[in-house]
Structure 1
Amino acid sequence: MLRYEPGTTLVHDLDPRTKLAFQVAFTAAAFAHTTPRGLVVLTGIVGGVLLAARLRPRSVVADLRFVLPFLVAAPLLEGLTLGSPWFSLAEARFPALASYRVLLVLLVSAAYVTTTPSRESRAAIQWLVPGRPGQFLGVGVGLVFRFLPVLQRDAARAREAMRARLGEARPLTERMRIVATTGLRRAFDRSDTLAFALGARCFAWNPTLPRLALGRTDVPVLAGCVALVGWALWPLVGWPPVPGA
């Protein structure tokens, strides 16, 4: 389950602003170079990020399992034809590359979520967007990071309870209805509890947030961000194209 895990890895030590900048730069490069060679380069970068965060690719992909069917379905549906040969590899090629691109971006985002406390994310956003809009965005991000894992656990418990009561014998539509209604009911209960807790703890729009400071390890990562942005802009500014990029 994707959530913050305390640690002492290189990615944990980075400033949250640096990690946000890397996500933006990586996403720009991924959308600018959705080609086999470009995705190979980006795959190597993602492997380095997961290694630096001490995350197992298989475990992270398992946490993203709810998104995978949509990523697989897009190229399959695009490649289907109404006549012979019934499936066109040429038509499915770019959707497959685009789906893989999205998976790489999600893996980088997963590394950010598991290595960054919600308070640091809120501090970074409020630094980036000053004033009340930044405070509003910071509160929203902090609540999502803390609230979403709780809802995921509630949904998992509902499925486990249904299996324990031989719910697997029920039709699929009925199982989906039970899990959905149970999840929504618990979500509303959690929302009411959250609102009461915020009021009881004197919720403030501008609390004392952790101090942000760039360190030595941030410098090479920021340099990498500049390189990724330059690589993303390379084909847009009229420079000679990089072969195969």
Structure 2
Amino acid sequence: MPDIAVFGRYRPGTSPLHRMDPRAKLLLSLAFTAVAFVAQTFWGLAVSAVFVLGFFALADIPLGAAFRSVGPLLFIVAITALLNVFFVQGGTVFVEWWIFRISEAGLVSAAFLGCRLLLLLLGMSLLTLTTATLDITDAFEYLLAPFARIGLPAHELAMIMGIALRFLPQFMLELQTIYRAQISRGATFTANPFKGGLSLISSLMVPLFTSAFRHAETLSLAMDARCYHGGPGRTRLHVLAYTRRDAWGAVAIAAMLALIMATNLIPH
């Protein structure tokens, strides 16, 4: 098995994106998601792709590493595209068999939504690739803090999100370690997970979930031992402070929105 792609793994660096305030990056990531949904044509997606490629170049992150980071989630893109192929009808019919029909409109819709989802995954992956998990947690807690006045547990939600972001890479690395350990003991895995029966699946899943629960229990005991309570007064990895770089990020998103809205006016 090759190295497992891990979504959410932080890549240290000193690029302008790495040095941006985490709160600004979180807000800009949400703004990018909204702007990407404004695109109604392939020209709009092309504009989004140019901006995404520019952001990765600015962050000094190779495009191959970006695709590897979203590799575990590409099945979402594939399933969405496949559903559109069969459920969206219109135009020339290319294949028709029983209740299944593949038409021109279905293929166009599948390509459009597949590209949009891929760009969204790549754009959102920039947040985790250029921001440490603790910084994302602090930013999330800070942005939710005003809602604490109406009873929203901002700190608890931020802590849950931070643990989830940190646990996913750990979970995938643990799976890779268990796989290699089983191979060293003579286990054989095929491309079809069901061909070898439940014993092959259980040889991975049982140790994986046992290890996951052990890590969760260790984390809980460690937090209790340190009398962790969070909230005001706790120490933070970095002091959050907006800079001029954050303003340039907002300008870039606004320019992207303007260009995409212009492409929507192009006859198609």
The normalised TM-score by structure 1 is 0.86
1:200-239 equivalences in 2 (<5 Å): 200-206=225-231, 207-209=234-236, 210-228=238-256
Q: 2:162 aligns with which of 142, 153, 172?
A: 142
Q: Quick check: 1:117 aligned with 2:132?
A: yes
Q: For residues 130-165 of structure 1, what are the alpha-carbon distances to aligned partners after superposition, in whole Å with 9 as ceiling and x for unaligned?
A: 136221122112212222211111111122223332
* 1:168 counterpart SS class: coil
Q: Structure 1 residues 39 and 181, CA, compared in 2 at 3 Å: closer, same or farther?
A: same
Return the alpha-carbon distance in structure 1 between the equivalents of residues 28 and 53 of structure 2: 14
Moved more, 19-28 or 57-66: 57-66
Unaligned runs of 5+ in 2: 1-5, 87-94
Residue type of the alignment partner of 2:266: P
Q: 2:63 aligns with which of 57, 69, 91?
A: 57
User: Superposition RMSD on alpha carbons, in Å?
Assistant: 2.7
Q: Structure 1 residues 220 and 199, CA, compared in 2 at 3 Å: closer, same or farther?
A: same
Return the alpha-carbon distance in structure 2 between the equivalents of residues 176 and 29 of structure 1: 41
Aligned-residue offset at 1:243: 1.6
Equivalent residue for 2:18? 12
Q: Quick check: 1:242 aligned with 2:246?
A: no
Equivalent residue for 1:103? 118
Return the alpha-carbon distance in structure 2 between the equivalents of residues 160 and 82 of structure 1: 45
Aligned residues with identical type, % of pairs: 25
Return the alpha-carbon distance in structure 2 between the equivalents of residues 18 and 242 of structure 1: 30
Equivalent residue for 1:192? 217
Return the alpha-carbon distance in structure 2 between the equivalents of residues 228 and 17 of structure 1: 20
Q: 1:168 aligns with which of 189, 206, 211?
A: 189
Equivalent residue for 1:133? 153
* 1:78 counterpart SS class: helix
Return the alpha-carbon distance in structure 1 between the equivalents of residues 223 and 172 of structure 2: 21
Q: For residues 18-54 of structure 1, what are the alpha-carbon distances to aligned partners after superposition, in whole Å with 9 as ceiling and x for unaligned?
A: 1112111111111121421011000001101111111
Q: Structure 1 residues 161 and 27, CA, compared in 2 at 3 Å: closer, same or farther?
A: same
Q: For residues 177-224 of structure 1, what are the alpha-carbon distances to aligned partners after superposition, in whole Å with 9 as ceiling and x for unaligned?
A: 332222211111111111111112221221233321111211111223
* Partners of 1:28 and 1:229 within 8 A in 2: no
**Alignment length, in residue pairs?**
240
Equivalent residue for 2:179? 159
Moved more, 190-199 or 117-126: 117-126
Aligned-residue offset at 1:173: 4.6
Return the alpha-carbon distance in structure 2 between the equivalents of residues 43 and 218 of structure 1: 21
Moved more, 56-65 or 212-221: 56-65
The normalised TM-score by structure 2 is 0.79
Return the alpha-carbon distance in structure 1 between the equivalents of residues 188 and 40 of structure 2: 43
Q: For residues 57-113 of structure 1, what are the alpha-carbon distances to aligned partners after superposition, in whole Å with 9 as ceiling and x for unaligned?
A: 112212322222332243234324543995323212213211221111111222111
Q: Structure 1 residues 154 and 42, CA, compared in 2 at 3 Å: closer, same or farther?
A: same
* Partners of 1:29 and 1:231 within 8 A in 2: no
Unaligned runs of 5+ in 1: none
Q: Structure 1 residues 98 and 34, CA, compared in 2 at 3 Å: closer, same or farther?
A: farther
Moved more, 43-52 or 208-217: 208-217
